[in-house]
């Protein structure tokens, strides 16, 4: 599945490089218009990150998210600083289909497993942002500012055993850089977790990148900067994905 992504800050569509708020690019695109256009071109799900909420949960853009969810012709998954059960419920009650949790999936795995059980596996996406080090892939937290001691594969194995269905994995060294995705990482994950709805994110810059991911067995890919900067269209991405 091709999943177009929009990052929202102060109601505007922006993109960051490697999660750095000081290196953002602001686009003039209206988020609702972008979602309508994406749906018309074949997208069946959209990914939205509330960057204001990621920095400060008290600043979460819930009124805007409600407006977007009500107007969107396709289901939406939303993430960005969701760290409690109450915040997850508030986001789902705004009318979205899936809530994306990242930091709490690392700092409170037992609580996250309970959340999956309560809300249902199809309504929770565990987002794991990883960076490769000397000992392998480790998971970052707090908006990518801190690298935890937890290994990516071990954490995914734990969640998979608890019924996890959807996992969004981002190589943070590539996010927003348009330098290609970590195909080898995703191929390894698919070998280790067959049947997992693995969502690749970070670095996708061309249709060839999409073909490489599809050939590696990846079920889904999130596309952000490449679409906003016109490297290809949603329709071209969908057609490529289906024909890869």
Catalytic residues: 7, 129
Please write down the HEC assignment for all residues of 107-162: HCHHHHHHHHHHHCHHHEEEEEEEEEECCEEEEEECCCCEEEEEEHHHHHHHHHHC
From the list 146, 126, 149, the residue with the least C-alpha distance to 137 is 149
State both tokens at 67: 């407006």
Q: Angle CA(129)–CA(188)–CA(44) in degrees, nearest 5?
A: 65
Stated length of the chain: 244
Enumerate residues 6+ apart whose C-beta is below 8 A from 93: none
Enumerate residues 6+ apart whose C-beta is below 8 A from 216: 183, 186, 187, 190
Widest CA span of the chain, in angstroms? Answer: 46
């Amino acid at each position: 599945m091709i999943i177009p992504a929009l990052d929202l800050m102060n109601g505007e569509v922006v993109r960051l490089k490697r999660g750095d708020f000081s290196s953002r690019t602001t686009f003039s695109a209206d988020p609702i218009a972008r979602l309508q256009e994406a749906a018309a071109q074949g997208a069946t799900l959209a990914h939205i990150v509330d960057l204001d909420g990621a920095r400060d949960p008290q600043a979460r853009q819930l009124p805007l998210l409600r407006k977007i969810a009500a107007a969107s012709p396709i289901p939406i998954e939303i993430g960005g600083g969701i760290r409690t059960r109450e915040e997850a419920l508030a986001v789902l009650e705004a009318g979205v289909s899936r809530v994306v949790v990242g930091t709490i999936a690392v700092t409170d795995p037992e609580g996250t497993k309970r959340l999956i059980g309560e809300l249902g596996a199809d309504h929770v996406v565990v987002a794991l942002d990883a960076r490769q080090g000397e000992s392998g892939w480790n998971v970052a937290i707090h908006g990518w500012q801190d690298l935890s001691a937890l290994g990516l594969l071990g954490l995914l194995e734990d969640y998979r055993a608890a019924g996890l269905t959807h996992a969004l994995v981002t190589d943070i060294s590539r996010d927003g850089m348009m330098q290609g995705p970590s195909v080898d990482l995703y191929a390894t994950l698919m070998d280790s977790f067959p049947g997992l709805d693995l969502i690749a994110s970070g670095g996708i810059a061309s249709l060839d990148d999409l073909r490489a991911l599809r050939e590696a067995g990846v079920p889904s890919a999130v596309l952000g900067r490449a679409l906003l900067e016109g490297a290809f269209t949603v329709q071209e991405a969908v057609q490529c994905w289906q024909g890869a």
